[in-house]
């Protein structure tokens, strides 16, 4: 190749890099992610451009799908007005948790609108040992429909136990709809999905991975864990369907797995149902419309309980990072104590600064993370944030009993947040996630007790010792942090 052609190719490549950098600047909301992608595009020839177009395009600006399930615009308007009216009524209840967190409730009402629901029964389920018996019991009682949506569903003992109930219920005439993430649940694609469909279960992959489209589809994962039964009983939290979540004596060689889930009965389930149907209509290509079988009236639940529940959900289909905003608001509203458990901690500047401000303001801020993560790289990036937090007075605990996978936050023993979202860039920007927010002193108090039990099995980081670590460890962590926005 002569020098003239080589020069032309170099000029074309430089122009291409400039154009991609301009695209990154225009398309990426986070300045940290923008800087990371620009550095990647400039310093990794060809490969950086490929990685950006595979993983970096902001689908919040060009939504992957329209989550609107009600096609009649007038009906949609009336329903939203009813949600607002109903929620404002609950907002005025004499509830200490609501009184101290009205701004959080209003945020979700205005952004969703996610209804603020009363008359719910809420049960905290610790680990698979408590979750799966409750799930199997609820599934057995289904009379009209079962909706189930999971990031990870495995073809193992518990997976097959739930499969057996789903198949039997489908044959009894119960409508069973099943959504699985095509990446997270790849072990069930061939055999189990075929068995489910043969038994009458309607099963579809969410955003099916097809070779060249694989990168973007792999990047935008449905990380939700949702079960809705007859529109009135729901499960939400961090526990997928897999034997690894069950800590039983006959699995003594298995790593201890610490996780948290909720069983909700009452109108709080309605937003879970709405999310499921939006996801279903997208991946199944159907137009299931809401009715009273899917969304029972509130008086059908009374007097199930007295808990006030609201959902926070977001993903590439959202106008805004709702889950991130809800966590920020909860942190800002806290007055005494913030307790956070998360398996993946790459919080970004907004969460990091909010926690530092709270700690410097005199609040007790405690963070429980894995001592050993299932991702060495993510764990290394996470450690780069610890120094700033420790200097501000945040207490950080490394869980040593096993792997802590729970995603929870408790503020002031009044508000409890339990869901699928990790405290990282992926959950805030890329994944489809859902968190349940319970405004209740009893539920928050129980989760607070669980948190303090968990830190008995954790090692508290000594700020002085942490600050004295070798420079090369800090360098490795800060280098990992540079690409953390792309994880």
Helix residue ranges per DSSP H, 199-288: 214-219, 269-284
Note if 401 is an active site residue.
no
In the numeric block, the tokens 């992926």 are attached to 426
Note if 230 is an active site residue.
yes
Note if 144 is an active site residue.
no
Rounded alpha-carbon distances, angstroms, from residue 453 to 36, 124, 338, 368, 437: 39, 15, 16, 11, 22
For 339, which DSSP code?
Answer: E
Q: Which of 67, 407, 414, 446 is catalytic?
A: 407
For 400, which DSSP code?
Answer: -
Which residues does residue 241 pair with via DSSP β-bridges, in sequence order?
A: 153
Angle between helices 376-383 and 471-482 (to 10 degrees): 110
Q: Which of 169, 223, 261, 270 is catalytic?
A: 223
Write out the DSSP string of 301-335. TTTS--EEEEEEEESTT-SS-HHHHHHHHHHHH-S
Note if 225 is an active site residue.
yes
Q: Which of 67, 145, 225, 446 is catalytic?
A: 225
Whether residue 432 contacts residue 322, with contact meaning beta carbons closer than 8 Å, is answered with: no
Whether residue 347 contacts residue 423, with contact meaning beta carbons closer than 8 Å, is answered with: yes
Q: Which of 111, 412, 424, 440 is catalytic?
A: 412
Q: How many angstroms from the chain centroid is the CA of residue 183?
A: 16
Radius of gyration of the chain (CA): 23
| Of the candidates 229, 79, 251, the residue with the CA atom closest to the CA atom of residue 149 | 229
Q: Which of 230, 279, 440, 454 is catalytic?
A: 230
Note if 80 is an active site residue.
no
Rounded alpha-carbon distances, angstroms, from residue 90 to 437, 440, 456: 14, 13, 37
Q: Which of 147, 366, 405, 446 is catalytic?
A: 405
Pairing of the two strands 423-424 and 345-346: parallel
Residue 56 sits at φ, ψ, to 5 deg, of -100, -10
Note if 414 is an active site residue.
no
| Of the candidates 384, 391, 393, 387, the residue with the CA atom closest to the CA atom of residue 348 | 384
d(CA 312, CA 322): 7
Which are the catalytic amino acids? Answer: 223, 225, 230, 405, 407, 412
């Amino acid at each position: 190749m002569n020098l003239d052609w080589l020069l032309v190719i170099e000029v074309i490549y430089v122009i291409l890099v400039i154009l991609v950098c301009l695209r990154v600047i225009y398309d990426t909301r986070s300045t940290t992610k923008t800087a990371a992608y620009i550095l990647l595009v400039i310093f990794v020839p060809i490969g950086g451009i490929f990685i950006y177009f595979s993983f970096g395009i902001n689908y919040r600006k060009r939504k992957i799908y329209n989550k609107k399930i009600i096609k009649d615009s007038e009906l949609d308007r009336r329903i939203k007005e009813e949600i607002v009216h109903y929620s404002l009524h609950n907002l005025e209840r004499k509830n200490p948790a609501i009184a101290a967190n009205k701004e959080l409730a209003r945020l979700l009402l205005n952004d969703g609108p996610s209804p603020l629901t009363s008359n719910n029964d809420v049960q905290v389920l610790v680990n698979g040992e408590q979750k799966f018996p409750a799930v199997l019991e609820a599934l057995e009682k289904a009379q009209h429909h079962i909706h189930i949506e999971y990031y990870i569903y495995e073809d193992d003992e518990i997976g097959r136990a739930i499969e057996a109930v789903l198949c039997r219920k489908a044959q009894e005439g119960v409508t069973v709809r099943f959504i699985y993430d095509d990446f997270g649940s790849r072990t069930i694609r061939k055999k189990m999905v075929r068995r489910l469909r043969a038994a009458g279960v309607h099963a579809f992959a969410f955003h099916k991975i097809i070779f060249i489209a694989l990168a973007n589809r792999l990047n935008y994962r449905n990380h939700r864990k949702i079960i809705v039964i007859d529109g009135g009983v729901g499960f939400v939290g961090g526990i997928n369907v897999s034997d690894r979540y069950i800590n039983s004596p006959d699995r003594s060689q298995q790593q201890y797995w610490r996780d948290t889930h909720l069983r909700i009965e009452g109108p709080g389930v309605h937003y879970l149902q709405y999310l499921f149907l939006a996801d279903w209509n997208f991946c199944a290509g159907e137009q299931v419309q809401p009715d009273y079988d899917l969304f029972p009236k509130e008086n059908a639940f009374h007097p199930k309980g007295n808990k006030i529940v609201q959902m926070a959900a977001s993903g590439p289909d959202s106008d805004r990072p709702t889950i991130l905003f809800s966590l920020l608001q909860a942190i800002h509203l806290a007055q005494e104590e913030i307790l956070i458990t998360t398996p993946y901690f790459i919080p970004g500047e907004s969460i990091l600064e909010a926690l530092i401000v709270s700690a410097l303001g005199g609040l007790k801020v405690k963070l429980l993370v894995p001592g050993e993560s299932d991702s060495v790289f993510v764990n290394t990036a996470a450690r780069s944030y610890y120094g700033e937090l420790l200097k501000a007075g945040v207490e950080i605990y490394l869980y040593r009993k096993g792997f802590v996978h729970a995603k929870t936050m408790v503020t002031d023993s009044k508000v409890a947040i339990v869901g699928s979202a990790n405290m990282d860039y992926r959950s805030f920007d890329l994944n489809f996630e859902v968190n349940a927010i319970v405004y209740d002193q009893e539920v928050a108090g129980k989760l607070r007790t669980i948190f303090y039990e968990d830190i008995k099995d954790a090692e508290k980081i000594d700020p002085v010792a942490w600050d004295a670590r070798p420079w090369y460890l800090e360098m490795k962590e800060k280098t990992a942090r540079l690409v953390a926005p792309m994880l």
